[in-house]
Amino acid sequence: MYPQEFYESLKRVEATRKARLNQVFPRLSMEERSALLEKFHPDYKKETMREISVGISKGEKTPHEFADLLEAYSYLDPKRFVIPAPKYEVDVLIIGGGGAGVAAALTASEVGADVLLVTKLRIGDANTTMAQGGIQAADKENDSPAIHYLDIMGGGGFKNIPELVRALVNDGPEVIRWLEELGVIFDKAEDGTMLSIHGGGTSRKRMHPCRDYTGAEIMRCLKDEFLDRKIKYIEYTASIELLKDNVGNCVGAVLVNMETGEVFTIKSKTTILATGGAGRLHIQGFPTSNHYGATGDGVVLAYRAGAKLIYLDTIQYHPTGVAFPEQILGQLITEKVRGLGAQLVNAYGEQFIYELETRDVVASAIIREVQERQKGVVTSTGGGVWLDTPLIEMKFGKGTIQKQLPAMYRQFIKFGIDMTQEPVLTYPTQHYQNGGILCNEFGETNVPNLYVAGEVSGGVHGRNRLMGNSLLDVLVFGRRAGRHAAEKSKEISKIGEPTLLHLIDYHSELKKLGIPESRRSPMILPDYRPQEFRGKFHFLSKLTEFNAERNNI
């Protein structure tokens, strides 16, 4: 239930509701959008960024939180650590068990490769499962991949890599057919026609939803198929470094069993990083909608191995994260809620932005309303604006929310908030890593035999991603990387001897800069414990103790 101090604002929202029912807020001009972004979007706050001081992309800007991970030492001392004999040797090593990793495993196995997937949590514990509103694909008569392409380029500020966008939109319809074959249950009309809805920044209704748990439904079917095919996998195992041979090819990884502390290696002809995003870095102190394991590991590992970055200075803040109750602060309120007609209004019941502008624009408008105009609802964690959900039932009839948004309804009703009768409070939440490791349309990086797929990569979405293209991204490029890596592995007759030589120069750079050796990365898991308990009883400290004598760490 809402606290008493919210009720005056709730009454104002209710009083203006009928007048707003069929009211459409005017869309902003390009000039107005640019001005709004420059003044209020978090990416434009210069003091929150710095230039990377080490590595191949030295001089490029990124948030301090990312820079801290990149400007850090490996857990392994390359001059003292004795690389153990490989525990496994495979054609294709896939690091990450979300949508991109599992899709890559499925296609790589189809090509006939010997595949091993390793994930630090469980198969399906990933942002893919948490995606809600839908997956985009241009498969309707009034649509085409070309129109989809233009929407993506516009949404990304025309900074997208064209080859990646072409691959994304052209593969889209086939991905939908593939998902249906796997058993994904998309929303359909009574005659069997697949339903589609609008998302922010789209010119056509091409969002294919499974109610409001699309990612969970897709991941369910991917995981079932993965397990049915008996593809090899290891859970609760984190990758802490990539291995390269003496000519620079990626030849596998060093990993740690998070339950026992055992350190071991896997040799592979090709390696695919599908480690997801970085919401748990809580950049600029924002809450996040991301899964617990989204700590940016793949970016760190690939970068230390020499992979180039792109657009790591741009983070997507989803405009509608939960602002109340604080128990679920930052969790997602899917864009589908706005697609169905819910309006964003301030504490006085006034509309202030067209709901389906691109995500960066809507997020900036909400921040402006709360911070500059002081028209937000004040909460113990900061504040927010109202997402007027009862409008959905007024427009489409009673029961629409529970039918179309069952997960959203349950998310709030357990706290006594009935979104069919009262609005929900929202504020931007860290949602997506727009940039990442640079790759081509097959997921290849500049490091030979190293591939990336999904959110760990960068370039396809430019500087802002449109709704529904993340699920498409993980599947299109997961499948492409899996197939290409498997085919590439057939060309490799022998895997080179693994080394950590790339770390020697990297560590040398860090020492010249005076970076303290206590700063280590990747993060692997976030630590929300009080400061006095951090570092104690942690699997990484156990790793060091467990292996110090044997491997001279």
Write out the catalytic residue numbers: 318, 338
Under 8 Å between Cβ of 261 and 546: yes
Contact predicate 256/544, CB 8 Å: no
240-548-275 Cα angle (round to 5): 10
Quick one: DSSP state of residue 5?
G
Are 204 and 138 contacting, i.e. CB atoms less than 8 angstroms apart? yes
Main-chain phi, psi angles of 225, to 5 degrees: -65, -40
162-182 and 214-228 helices cross at what angle (nearest 10)? 70
Phi-psi category of 407—alpha, beta or left, where left has phi over 0 and alpha has psi -120 to 50? alpha
Tokens representing 17 are: 């509701």
The answer to whether 195 and 209 have CB atoms below 8 angstroms apart is yes
Listed in order, strand segments (DSSP E) in 73-174 are 88-95, 115-118, 135-136
Query: How would you classify residue 43: left for phi > 0, otherwise alpha for psi between -120 and 50, otherwise beta?
Result: alpha
Task: Taking each helix axis as running N to C, give the angle between helix 162-182 and helix 145-155, from 0 to 180 degrees, rounded to the nearest 10.
Answer: 120
Instruction: Say which residues have a Cβ less than 8 Å from residue 529's Cβ, sequence separation at least 6.
Output: none
Q: Which amino acid is at 315?
A: I
452 phi, psi to nearest 5 deg: -135, 155
| Paired sense of beta strands 263-273 and 450-452, if any | parallel
SS3 at position 130: helix
**Gap between the Cα atoms of 108 and 101, Å rounded:** 10
Q: Tokens 């054609």 map to which residue?
A: 91
